[in-house]
Amino acid sequence: MITVYGIPNCDTVKKARAWLAHQGMEVAFHDFKKQGVPAAELPAWLQAFGRDKLVNRAGTTWRKLDEATRAAVVDDASATALMLREPSVIKRPVVRWADGRLTLGFSAEEFEKSA
CA dist., res. 44 & res. 24, Å (int): 27
Q: pTM for this structure? A: 0.94
Compute the average pLDDT of residues 103-114.
93
| Closest to 90 in 3D by CA, of 115, 60, 66 | 60
Integer CA distances (angstroms), 11 to 32, 79, 93, 106, in order: 15, 24, 10, 10
CA dist., res. 4 & res. 100, Å (int): 12
Class of domain 2-114: alpha beta
Taking each helix axis from N to C terminus, what angle separates 42-49 and 76-85, rounded to the nearest 10 degrees?
A: 120
Residue type at 15 in one-letter notation: K
CA dist., res. 3 & res. 97, Å (int): 7
Compute the average pLDDT of residues 46-63.
96
Give pLDDT tens digits for 79-103.
999 999 999 999 999 999 999 999 9
Task: Note the pLDDT of residue 115.
Answer: 80
Residue 10 appears among annotated catalytic residues: yes
Considering the candidates 2, 4, 7, 10, report the single residue annotated as catalytic: 10
Compute the average pLDDT of residues 65-69.
96
Annotated domain spans of the chain:
2-114
